[in-house]
């Protein structure tokens, strides 16, 4: 079982967003970069599958978990995190384009993954920066493999992946033949912290650098803006005594009841 985990470096969720000087991307000054939280669930699941799957046919690449990330000069630190969590090796698809669109990223990833003979290709359900939720299913489409998105539970049974995914008011259980692509939701597992041993071992693992082949963009980011501020709230009152006034305001002023 060879697994590829596509990861993205994103701004920490506690980041206060400021618009950069170009007017259409995040001001990177002072930002803490992290592994996209949903990609952590993907990586963790891949590691657990590797750990419980006995190496069937030993040989080069057997049982490997390969982390791939696309981006600029800061990306290797995030790939190093993935290696410290337990990925076997990493590939950095290098680009200086700050906001490539999802299809460009998907093309570059698909081109790289095509040569890796992966059985499972993992993604997070979305990156918590641009929130597009596109790259996973796009890569699957380009590779012509089946894909389940927003996966909260996964089981492997004789050459098939059985995934549970959240939909409005319930869950779907879908069965996919391998190779398959999966995008991970929170709830799939509880990601591990990198151990000291893992961190030491990561230093000896390789991060292969390659240029990302993005192709032409299909989307153009025109502007990044801060949302209009909500008008300052007001405190209606203290304790139970303020409940009637709250109800009155909700009915008569906000017309929300």
Q: Check residue 158 for interaction with another protein (CB under 8 A).
A: no
How many residues belong to the chain?
A: 257
Residues 25 and 224 sit within 8 Å (Cβ to Cβ): yes
What is the pattern of x (binds another protein, CB under 8 A) and - over residues 112-141? Answer: ----------------xxxxxxxxxxxxxx
Q: Which is nearer to another protein, 59 or 233 (CB)?
A: 233
Reduced to 3 states, what is the DSSP secondary structure of residue 61? coil
Reduced to 3 states, what is the DSSP secondary structure of residue 141? helix
Task: Name which of residues 77 to 106 contact another protein (CB under 8 A).
Answer: 101-103, 106
Rounded Cα distance between 76 and 83, Å, is 10
CB neighbours (10 Å) of residue 13?
11
Least distance in angstroms from the C-beta of 224 to another protein: 5
Q: Check residue 42 for interaction with another protein (CB under 8 A).
A: no
Reduced to 3 states, what is the DSSP secondary structure of residue 112? helix
Rounded Cα distance between 80 and 86, Å, is 10
Q: Check residue 204 for interaction with another protein (CB under 8 A).
A: no
Q: Check residue 38 for interaction with another protein (CB under 8 A).
A: yes
Reduced to 3 states, what is the DSSP secondary structure of residue 186? coil
Q: Which is nearer to another protein, 75 or 106 (CB)?
A: 106
Least distance in angstroms from the C-beta of 184 to another protein: 12
Question: Which one of the spans 45-53, 57-65, 79-87, 240-248 is the region binding another protein (CB under 8 A)?
Answer: 240-248
Question: Which one of the spans 44-52, 57-65, 114-122, 247-255 is the region binding another protein (CB under 8 A)?
Answer: 247-255
Least distance in angstroms from the C-beta of 66 to another protein: 22
Q: Check residue 244 for interaction with another protein (CB under 8 A).
A: yes
Using alpha carbons, select from 38, 39, 44, 35 the residue that is nearest to residue 12. 35
Residue 197, Cα to own-chain centre: how many angstroms?
25
């Amino acid at each position: 079982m060879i697994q590829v985990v596509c990861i993205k470096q994103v701004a920490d969720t506690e980041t206060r967003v400021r618009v950069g000087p170009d007017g259409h991307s995040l001001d990177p000054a002072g930002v803490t970069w992290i592994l996209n939280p949903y990609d952590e669930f993907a990586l963790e699941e891949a590691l657990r599958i590797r750990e419980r799957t006995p190496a069937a046919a030993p040989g080069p690449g057997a049982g490997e978990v390969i982390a791939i990330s696309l981006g600029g000069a800061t990306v290797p630190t995030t790939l190093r995190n993935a290696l410290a969590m337990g990925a076997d090796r990493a590939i950095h698809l290098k680009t200086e384009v700050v906001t490539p669109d999802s299809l460009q990223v998907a093309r570059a990833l698909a081109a790289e993954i095509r040569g890796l003979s992966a059985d499972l290709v993992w993604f997070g359900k979305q990156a918590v920066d641009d929130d597009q939720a596109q790259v996973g299913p796009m890569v699957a489409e380009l590779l012509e493999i089946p894909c389940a998105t927003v996966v909260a539970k996964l089981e492997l049974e004789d050459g098939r992946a059985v995934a549970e995914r959240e939909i409005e008011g319930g869950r779907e259980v879908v069965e996919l033949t391998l190779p398959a692509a999966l995008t991970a939701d929170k709830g799939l597992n509880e990601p591990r912290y990198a151990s000291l041993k893992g961190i030491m071992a990561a230093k000896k693992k390789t991060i292969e650098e390659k240029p990302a082949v993005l192709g032409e963009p299909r989307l153009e980011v025109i502007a990044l803006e801060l949302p209009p501020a909500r008008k300052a709230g007001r405190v209606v009152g203290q304790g139970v005594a303020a409940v009637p006034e709250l109800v009155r305001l909700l009915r008569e002023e906000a017309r929300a009841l």
